[in-house]
Structure 1
Amino acid sequence: ASIIILNQYMFLLRDDFRQNPQDVVVAVGETASFECQPPRGHPEPTVFWRRDKTQLDLKDDRIMVRGGKLTISNTKKSDTGIYVCVASNMVGERESEKAQLSVYERPAFMQRPVNQVVLVDESVEFRCQVHGDPPPALRWKKEDVDVPRGRYDREDSLLRIKKASVSDQGTFTCVAENRVGKAEASAYLTIREAPQFVVRPRDQIVAQGRTATFPCVTRGKPQPTVFWQREGSKDLLFPNQPAQGDDRVSVSVNGELTISSVQRSDAGYYICQALTVAGSIMAKAQLEVADASKGRPPPIIRQGPSNQTQALGGVSVLRCQASGDPEPTVTWRKNGANLLGLDPRFSLLEHGSLQIQNTRLSDSGLYTCVATSSSGETSWSAYLDVKASLPSSDSTDLMDFMSHNTTALPGPPSKPEVTDVTKSSISLSWEPGPEAGSPVSSYVIEAFGYVCDLCPRATLSDPNFHGNSRCTGSLWGIQASQGGFKQNKSAM
């Protein structure tokens, strides 16, 4: 402390400030404040401030000193410096400890990422340039999650995706951050996938008067628009819009072309086309119109699906192998509705079997394998039951469950014998085959052929404990098979 005695008056100024100013960090435009409490003295010392050893100019409207508090509003970069609080009276001056004012700049974008649209497997780049003081750190987010290393290339202000996939679609955000602030700029990436065929239309031979069906299932992003055109015609056939002047021809919402009551004039090539902003594809199939079936048997399903119980999330395979002349086309229905192409989890295997991946509870239902040719149509159905959980391995119910739920097919009957042939009936007997996993519930008898002296111009229906036989027209042969869900839709 310093003391001066003058004319019997004592003047005093102590050395230590009761409160020293502290360092302050602000962003440009913010308000900075310093506070100090000067040392005690007599008379009470006055306070002023110095920046970098120069007294502050109070003519600047942004600067205000009230007591020991200094306030600088709307700070500028030029306000950066070392500030000292000075206390003064008749004894002298005292300086506080030094305090640093740092005026930084918040991150600001010089270049923002922009929305982009690319095709699958194309490369894409997002650019993001910022300035600020101190220089901001950059990072990238996708849907509020930091982008993983390895999947994306990051070089300073650049984000690069070498081969875009459908899963890359979404919002990408550039985040810039420093000591005084954070800024974000976002852009949306749209992925387009060129149309692809899931199920192509196939050439068909259809008898006059029957129905021809050409499936055409596609996928893409966005979902393709599917339409049909007959080769040589300018008319376009769109879903749910009947052909002009011919209500026999229609296209379903799934892209399936149906021609009912086929006529010889319908023969020709039909073109399925799928179109999106990402491209277009087409596939052509030929329709041959044959004479009404001349006694040829309908397709035979040699191995049909069997009832199954499947665990949730599993893989189910419903078997279907068909043969015939001409070779039949195999399609599938669920609860009577055409199935393939509606869900990518469903796929048709090489020989006509249906595979369902990642099964869901909603997959439960009646599945029908349909074998179609110009000589007729044959179907075989089975029920799939998807359970949320199956019995555990230590459950006493497991063996009972296994005994009633097996994909093993029953063996075919053997040694058929025909007796008691009359003009209106026959008796048929056979030896049952192995039951495999469960008791045989019923037998189905099919009759077809060229000459039928047994039932001329008549329909035979003769149910008994063996099964039910029906014949319209002529009898060529009889086939017996096991399984309660097989049926022949052709009346011969």
Structure 2
Amino acid sequence: MSKVKAAPPPGCIININDPQVQEAAIRIQASYRGHRSRKELREKGPPTFLQELKDVLLVEGSAAKLECRVSAFPDPFIVWSKDGKELKDGPKYRYVFEETDVVALVVRDGELADLGRYTVTIKNPFGQTSGSACIIVEVPAKVTKGPDSVKGRRGTTVVLKAEISGEPPPDVGWLKDGEDIEEDDRVFFDVGDTDTILTIKSARASDSGKYEVFVENNLGTDQSFARVDIM
């Protein structure tokens, strides 16, 4: 006596020609390949970069984040350094670990001193690797200390000095009574990395007046004033 094959319960029939079924099968295969690929990477041992560090821009007063993706098994030991000096995890520099393979460094309270090359070193018992990138700092132009007002005698040399900052380095100008100073061998100014100096040789009575130092870059402008009296 032959047995009658029972029909499958409702909803248990899979139509392999159904587009949704085919799409699900593709996703399962892709997920398996991804899992197998990750498993193979983990079995290799030595740390490797899946995504390298990239240069980032840091505006003064804000925070910047350097990040990369790595593969390493066992879990690696991470060290961040700046210009060859190790950075400690703390209020200024924060070590961050996201998901399973993202390693990051957050630099807080950005300032010009944060400009430089940062390196991450990744170690485990099977070896180590390292990568570097730069933090590029932008700081609005500023006169951090304006020139002092001075009184001088005729025929002497008078000097006005101002301390300045900014990144990119600012353009600098000096004005007298609201007019640009036209430099010559007697009246001229120099611009350094952190200061600018206006020199007035063989001072005359006509050199008396209101002097202004002006700084400007793509992030901002600033100025400061001083009085010169020649007697």
Shorter-normalised TM-score: what interval? 0.5 to 0.7
Question: Once the two structures are aligned, what percentage of the paired residues are identical?
Answer: 19
Describe the SS at the equivalent of 2:200. Answer: strand
CA apart distance, 1:127: 0.9
- For residue 283 of structure 1, what is the aligned residue in structure 2? 224
CA apart distance, 1:126: 0.8
Matched, 1:189 2:135: yes
Distance 1:178 1:230, change over 3 A: same
- For residue 249 of structure 1, what is the aligned residue in structure 2? 187
- For residue 204 of structure 2, what is the aligned residue in structure 1? 262
Describe the SS at the equivalent of 1:201. Answer: coil
Matched, 1:125 2:74: no
Contact 1:228/1:257, CA 8 A, preserved across alignment: no
CA apart distance, 1:210: 4.4
Show structure 1 runs of 5+ residues with no match: 1-76, 81-101, 290-373, 375-492
- For residue 152 of structure 1, what is the aligned residue in structure 2? 93
The Cα offsets for residues 174-208 of structure 1, whole Å up to 9 and x where unpaired, read as: 2334454433211123445555546522445566x
Distance 1:169 1:202, change over 3 A: closer
- For residue 140 of structure 1, what is the aligned residue in structure 2? 79
The Cα offsets for residues 69-111 of structure 1, whole Å up to 9 and x where unpaired, read as: xxxxxxxx89x9xxxxxxxxxxxxxxxxxxxxx9526433233
Q: Distance in 2 between matches of 1:186 and 1:122?
A: 21
Distance 1:206 1:172, change over 3 A: closer
CA apart distance, 1:139: 1.2
Q: Distance in 2 between matches of 1:145 and 1:232?
A: 47
Contact 2:214/2:221, CA 8 A, preserved across alignment: yes
Q: Distance in 1 between matches of 2:224 and 2:172?
A: 11
Q: Distance in 2 between matches of 1:164 and 1:139?
A: 23
CA apart distance, 1:272: 1.1
Matched, 1:115 2:55: yes
Contact 1:228/1:273, CA 8 A, preserved across alignment: yes
Matched, 1:175 2:121: yes
CA apart distance, 1:225: 5.3
Give the total of aligned pairs: 181
- For residue 218 of structure 1, what is the aligned residue in structure 2? 163
CA apart distance, 1:121: 3.4
Q: Distance in 1 between matches of 2:112 and 2:203?
A: 43
Distance 1:168 1:140, change over 3 A: farther
Show structure 2 runs of 5+ residues with no match: 1-35, 98-102
Q: Distance in 2 between matches of 1:214 and 1:138?
A: 55
TM-score scaled to structure 2, two decimals? 0.58
Contact 2:143/2:162, CA 8 A, preserved across alignment: yes
Q: Distance in 1 between matches of 2:215 and 2:60?
A: 17
Distance 1:109 1:252, change over 3 A: closer
Distance 1:277 1:113, change over 3 A: farther
CA apart distance, 1:229: 2.1
Q: Distance in 1 between matches of 2:96 and 2:202?
A: 61
Distance 1:277 1:260, change over 3 A: farther
Q: Distance in 1 between matches of 2:49 and 2:85?
A: 21
Contact 1:216/1:255, CA 8 A, preserved across alignment: yes
For 2:87, the aligned partner's letter is V
Q: Looking at secondary structure, tell me which structure has more helix per residue.
A: 2
Work out which of the two has the higher radius of gyration on C-alpha atoms and give 1 or 2.
1
Q: Distance in 2 between matches of 1:248 and 1:230?
A: 15
Greater RCO (Cα-Cα under 8 Å, separation 6 or more) = 2
Distance 1:280 1:216, change over 3 A: farther
Contact 1:130/1:136, CA 8 A, preserved across alignment: no
